[in-house]
Structure 1
Amino acid sequence: MSQTVEGGEGLAPGVHEEGTPEVAHRATGYSWYVLGVLVIVYVLNFVDRNIISILAEDIKADLGIRDDQIGFLYGTAFGVFYALFGIPLGKLADSWHRVRLMTAGLAIWSLMTALSGFAKNFAMLSVARVGVGIGEATASPSAYSLISDWFPKKMR
Structure 2
Amino acid sequence: MSVTIRPAQSADIEAMMAAERSAAELFRPLPQWAFIADDAIMSAAQHAALIAEESEWLAQDGAAVAGFIAVRRHGDEWHIAELSVAAEHQRRGIGRQLIVAVADCASRQGVRQLTLTTFRNVPWNAPYYRRLGFETIPTVELSARLRAQMASEAEHGLPLGSRCAMKFTLL
Normalised TM-score (structure 1): 0.28
- The structure that is strand-richer by fraction is 2
Return the structure number with greater relative CO, CA threshold 8 A, min gap 6.
1
TM-score calculated relative to the size of structure 2: 0.26
Rg comparison, structure with higher value: 1
